[in-house]
Amino acid sequence: MNKNKIEFFITVIMAIVDNIKNISYLKKFKKKILGKHSYLSNKMKQLKFLELNKKIFFGKILNKSFKKIKIHFLNREKKLKINFVKNYDINRNFDYTLPGKKLLFGSLHPITKSIYKIEDFFSKIGFSIINGYEIEDEYHNFSCLNIPKDHPSRNKKDTFWLSDNILLRTQTSNMQVHIMKNKKFPIKIISSGKVYRNDNDIKHTPMFHQIEGLIVSKNISFANLKWIICKFLNFFFKKKISIRFRNSYFPFTVLSAEVDIKEQNGKWLEILGCGIVHPNVLDNMNIDYKKYSGCAFGIGIERLTMLYYETLDLRNFFENNLNFLKQF
């Protein structure tokens, strides 16, 4: 083993590396020079045949040589990458004086914000959040909820029917049926999701979002329902608002009520429907309505969102107009 030959080899390799102009070829050459069967690796294997003092002497030389070549390869690779980027930008006539591009960050849709806000309130008072089925059969969407065969909502002009028995659900109330089938009392759930009705104007769209709430247990009264609704509306609008409960009719509740809030102009505006679960609905689920009672409510999320953000046209939420959505 000769020191001068090792040093000459290092000098030659470094000169070759300095003349390589292709990163891919540089990597292949590096593997050849520093690999298991390279000149330096073979010299390292020969150390075990040398005397101890020569083994220490040549071991130090070979380790320094390995390190020196590795560093030289790394520096050359960095230089080639920098040159590549500069040449690439020059070929593209890149102007380094141009201002940088601004990174655009997305945000939650106002409807999504409202859903999260509503779910946050109800989860804090013990409600479970469940997801529902958007494609439903006639039994779960209508019959089981005490909606008669001649009810207008079953009309093909108002409902999107996929077949004689299958439809796009018209309300999230269908989830009441699926949950009550389990008969695990007390039931205390909300279900949010898309619903579909054949209607389209500044206050209605064919698809919109609704949240359904349901409580079934012993001794549930309208007072329980009223307390929940009032607490929720004050929470959502972040202030104490004027609320009134007005007699109404829904096939699946009795007593039934529409809930109105007073606007700044002094007019009352309907925002949701609610009531005591109809005994027929409980009976359809084989629940003893003499032992158990329940209350339910349905909230139109778009309506609340329009009021909260003071927008006038519901359709703006679905037109993907960035100038509109950036406001939120």
46 and 177 housed in the same domain: no
> How open is the CA angle 279-148-171, to the nearest 5 degrees?
80
| 289: CATH | 3.30.930.10
pLDDT value, residue 246: 93
- Look at residue 96 and tell me if it is in a domain: no
158 and 59 housed in the same domain: no
40 and 11 housed in the same domain: yes
136 and 260 housed in the same domain: yes
119 and 84 housed in the same domain: no
Cα(10)–Cα(16) distance, integer angstroms: 10
Domain count, the chain: 2
83 and 128 housed in the same domain: no
pTM of the predicted model as reported, rounded to 2 decimal places: 0.65
The domain containing residue 281 runs over which residues?
110-325
Ranges of the chain with pLDDT below 70: 1, 85-96, 202-203
DSSP 251-291: TTEEEEEEEEEE-TTS-EEEEEEEEEEPHHHHHHTT--TTT
165 and 135 housed in the same domain: yes
- Look at residue 103 and tell me if it is in a domain: no
251 and 321 housed in the same domain: yes
pLDDT value, residue 198: 84
